[in-house]
Amino acid sequence: MTAGREWTIGLCWRCEAEDVPVLWLGSAHSDDHGHAPFHTCEPCVRRIEELIADHVARRYAAT
């Protein structure tokens, strides 16, 4: 899931936990403010992985 990816200490943009290990997932985009790096902590990375797995399972179940 996150092998080889670099964790840093910072703010989780999903749960707003501060000074925790976070992983860059990509850029977040805003129509008003441009883009910014989107970082999340390990529990939030796991939850996002679960949401992605559920989405993919529903997509394939519909075909």
List pLDDT tens digits, range 2-58: 667 899 999 999 999 999 999 999 999 999 999 999 999 999 999 999 999 999 999
What is the reported pTM? 0.82
Give the model's pLDDT for residue 2.
67
C-beta of residue 47 within 8 angstroms of C-beta of residue 23:
no
Residue 1 reports pLDDT greater than 70? no
Q: What angle do CA 41, 26, 8 make, to 5 degrees?
A: 40
**pLDDT score at 5:** 85
